[in-house]
């Protein structure tokens, strides 16, 4: 059994920077990865999908170019070229990570499946079924999650797609059926609709994104519907089947009567499950919760001292930036001032449809449920000068503010640059700035940020609940 200072299982957005930091501390590291370096984000998530989002937006704009005085003879998308661009970006990102890891003399890379064989002992199984056993006093688990496949009658008998396999298609789906209406489903629905697919979303809730405020879900529904995406809500999928011509049939119940819809492809986008079942965690007395996630304390340490879980595998919001911040917390815990923690941290996130949704803090719905004394500042994107000038007037920006302290409690920016707009207000929240300080601050004209002046104008502030 070979001994290392550190073992990291998984090279995602926490494991990779952690390996580099530990190397700088002079540690000898074993980095175990069963797939590509970079984890889901680089290979099957953020990098490829946001590249497709960019391509889809260019296509959408070109198809509407005549209103800007541009006449294009051929604006039909070339799916092969779009895929080439996506793969080029992914390869560039992955190879950059590989270079930084493989050239580090302190990092020993093992391309295989890691699992516990004893307390702080790891077996690495390689593709040829050979294996080695390694041990270390510090072990970090960064194995992430994968697509959850629900138990639906007939689903295993059809060639269904996941968020991972959808990205490997060589031909554009003619009719794409999406089971699920979460963030992944929404982004893919608009991407493939703009590329030329007929897209239908099947969502079991009564509306899209039920955890968000009603105006957010309603606006996203309007945006997608206006672009031709069909949305079926309050729907239960009873069965899935395929015909002799390889078309796919989905039997639904929505309302009182069941009905059937058909398509050429079906994407299952019904959430994620953690990659823990093959880790043999019991060999090191590490528990999992009822959903398979690994419980951790405020510093990402499991119930076993010296063994940590970072990123999606520990549960909670599954975002790349959360995984990276997990790395920062662990690095501070091991080598810093020990002031960083995952407790009560502000978690921003975006839904990268066009226009995008940037979100942080509490919703208006949550403020009401908590019976807070708050006000709502809301302004349509059509009132933003820069949005009018660039013809991107769909959506709105909204902030929840404490009526007493005047501090910002939450933000929803569903507009062009919504993620960037939200991030500006995130900084204000972290700095404890009040909304009237922002209202009276000078921003450059004409920028989207300038809308902050008008957002907090008394004309846009409406009272919530007065305690």
Is 465 a residue whose pLDDT tops 70? Answer: no
Same domain, 97 and 203: no
Q: What would the pLDDT profile of 41-64 be if each residue is shown by its tens digit?
A: 999 999 999 999 999 999 999 998
- Residues 86 and 61 reside in one and the same domain: yes
- The answer as to whether 54 is a domain residue is yes
Identify the domain containing residue 421 by its residue range: 355-462
Same domain? 287 vs 213: no
Looking at the fold, whether 312 and 289 belong to one and the same domain comes out as: yes
Q: What is the pLDDT of residue 185?
A: 98
Q: Are 231 and 225 in contact (CB under 8 A)?
A: yes
Does the structure show a pLDDT above 50 at 466? no
pLDDT tens for residues 187-206? 999 999 999 999 999 999 99
Residue 236's pLDDT band, with cuts at 50, 70 and 90, is very high
Tell me the β-bridge partners of 427: none
Tell whether 216 and 330 lie within a shared domain. no
pLDDT-above-70 percentage for the chain: 99
Instruction: Give 319-364 pLDDT, tens digit per residue.
Output: 999 999 999 999 999 999 999 999 999 999 999 999 999 999 999 9
**Rg of the chain on CA atoms, in Å:** 24
Distance of CA 400 to the CA centre of its chain: 23
Q: How large is the average pLDDT for residues 110-138?
A: 97
pLDDT for position 455: 97
Q: Are residues 90 and 58 in the same domain?
A: yes
Backbone phi, then psi, for 351, in 5-degree steps?
-115, 115
**Is 441 a domain residue?**
yes
Q: Which of 111, 119, 171, 445 is catalytic?
A: 445
The DSSP line for 256-285 is SSEEEEEESEEEE-S-EEES-TTS-GGGGT
Supply the CATH number for residue 65's domain: 3.50.50.60
Residue range 268-293: mean pLDDT, rounded:
97
Whether the per-residue pLDDT at 448 is higher than 80: the answer is yes
393 belongs to a structural domain? yes
Q: Per-residue DSSP letters for 187-241?
A: HHHHHHHHHT-EEEEE-SSSSSSTTS-HHHHHHHHHHHHHTT-EEE-SEEEEEEE
Q: Render pLDDT for 378-388 as a digit per residue (tens, 0 to 9).
A: 999 999 999 99
pLDDT of residue 76: 81
- pTM for the full predicted model: 0.95
Averaged pLDDT for residues 422-446: 97
Per the CB < 8 A criterion, the answer to whether 384 and 451 are in contact is: yes
Average pLDDT, the chain: 96
Same-domain check for residues 130 and 278: yes
Confidence class of residue 73 from pLDDT cuts 50, 70 and 90?
confident
pLDDT digits (tens, 9 = 90+) for 2-26: 999 999 999 999 999 999 999 999 9
Quick one: pLDDT band at residue 245, thresholds 50, 70, 90?
confident
Q: Evaluate whether residue 180 is within a structural domain.
A: yes
279, part of any domain: yes
Same structural domain, 295 and 373: no
455 occurs within a structural domain: yes
Q: Number of structural domains, the chain?
A: 3
Which residues have CB under 8 Å from 368's CB, separation 6+? Answer: 464, 465
Residues 9 and 134 in one domain: yes
Residues 138 and 277 in one domain: yes
Residue 30 pLDDT > 50: yes
Residue range 101-130: average pLDDT? 97
Q: Are 250 and 240 in contact (CB under 8 A)?
A: yes
171 catalytic? Reply is no
**Please, are residues 391 and 376 in contact by the beta-carbon 8 Å criterion?**
no
């Amino acid at each position: 059994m070979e001994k290392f200072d550190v073992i990291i299982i998984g090279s995602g957005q926490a494991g990779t920077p952690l390996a580099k930091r530990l190397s700088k501390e002079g540690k000898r590291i074993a980095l175990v990865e069963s797939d590509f370096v970079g984890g889901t984000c680089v290979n099957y998530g953020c990098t490829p999908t946001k590249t497709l989002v960019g391509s889809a937006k260019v296509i959408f704009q070109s198809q509407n170019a005549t209103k800007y005085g541009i006449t294009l003879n051929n604006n039909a998308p070339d799916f092969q070229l779009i895929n080439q661009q996506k793969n080029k970006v992914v390869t560039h990102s992955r190879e950059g990570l590989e270079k930084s890891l493989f050239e580090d003399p302190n990092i020993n890379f093992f391309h295989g499946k890691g699992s516990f064989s004893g307390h702080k002992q790891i077996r690495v199984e390689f593709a040829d079924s050979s294996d080695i056993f390694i041990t270390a006093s510090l072990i970090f688990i960064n194995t992430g999650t994968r697509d959850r496949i629900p138990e639906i009658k007939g689903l295993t008998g059809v060639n269904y797609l996941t968020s991972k396999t959808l990205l490997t298609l060589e031909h554009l789906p003619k009719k794409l059926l999406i089971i699920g209406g979460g963030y992944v489903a929404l982004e893919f629905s608009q991407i493939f609709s703009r590329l030329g697919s007929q897209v239908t979303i099947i969502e079991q809730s009564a509306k899209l994104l039920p955890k968000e405020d009603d105006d957010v879900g309603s606006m996203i529904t309007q945006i997608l519907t206006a672009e031709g995406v069909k949305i079926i809500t309050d729907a239960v999928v009873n069965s899935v089947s395929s015909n002799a011509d390889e078309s796919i049939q989905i039997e639904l119940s929505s309302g009182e009567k069941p009905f059937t819809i058909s398509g050429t492809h079906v994407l299952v986008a019904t959430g994620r499950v953690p990659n823990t079942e093959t880790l043999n965690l019991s060999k090191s007395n590490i528990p999992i919760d009822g959903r398979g996630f690994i419980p951790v304390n405020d510093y990402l340490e499991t119930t076993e001292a010296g063994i940590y879980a970072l990123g999606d595998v520990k549960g909670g919001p599954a975002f790349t930036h959360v995984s990276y911040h997990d790395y920062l917390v662990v690095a501070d815990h091991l080598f810093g001032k020990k002031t960083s923690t995952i407790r009560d941290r502000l978690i921003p996130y975006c839904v990268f449809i066009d226009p995008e949704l940037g979100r942080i803090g509490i919703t208006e719905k949550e403020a009401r449920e908590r019976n807070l004394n708050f006000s709502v500042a809301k302004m349509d994107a059509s009132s933003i000068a820069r949005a009018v000038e660039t013809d991107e007037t769909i959506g709105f920006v909204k902030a929840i503010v404490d009526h007493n302290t005047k501090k910002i409690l939450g933000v929803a920016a569903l507009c062009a640059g919504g993620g960037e707009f939200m991030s500006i207000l995130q900084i204000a929240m972290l700095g404890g700035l009040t909304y009237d300080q922002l209202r009276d601050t000078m921003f450059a004209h004409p920028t989207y940020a300038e809308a902050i002046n008008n957002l907090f104008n008394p004309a846009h502030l409406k009272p919530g609940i007065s305690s």
